[in-house]
Amino acid sequence: MKKAILSCGLLAVSIAFLAGCGIAKEKTKADVVKNCLLSVPAGIPKDVAEDYCNCSADKLLEKYSAIEIMKMEEKLRNGDETPKAEMMKTIQPCIDDLTRKAKEHQQGH
Output the pLDDT for position 23: 60
Q: CA separation (Å) from 76 to 16, 71, 99, 101?
A: 22, 9, 24, 28
Which pairs count as long-range contacts for 73-76, CB under 8 Å and 24+ apart, including other chains?
A: 73/35
For 84-107, the pLDDT digits (tens) are 889 889 999 999 998 898 888 778
Output the pLDDT for position 89: 93
Confidence at 22, pLDDT banded by 50, 70, 90: low
Backbone angles phi, psi at 43, to 5 degrees: 95, -10
Output the pLDDT for position 97: 93
Residue 6 has pLDDT above 50, yes or no: no
End-to-end CA distance of the chain: 63
3-state secondary structure of 62: helix
For 39-64, the pLDDT digits (tens) are 888 888 899 999 999 999 999 989 98
| Domain segments of the chain as ranges | 22-108
Q: How far apart are CA 70 and CA 61, in angstroms?
A: 11
Q: How far apart are CA 27 and CA 19, in angstroms?
A: 10
For 66-87, the pLDDT digits (tens) are 888 888 888 888 999 898 889 8
pTM of the model: 0.71
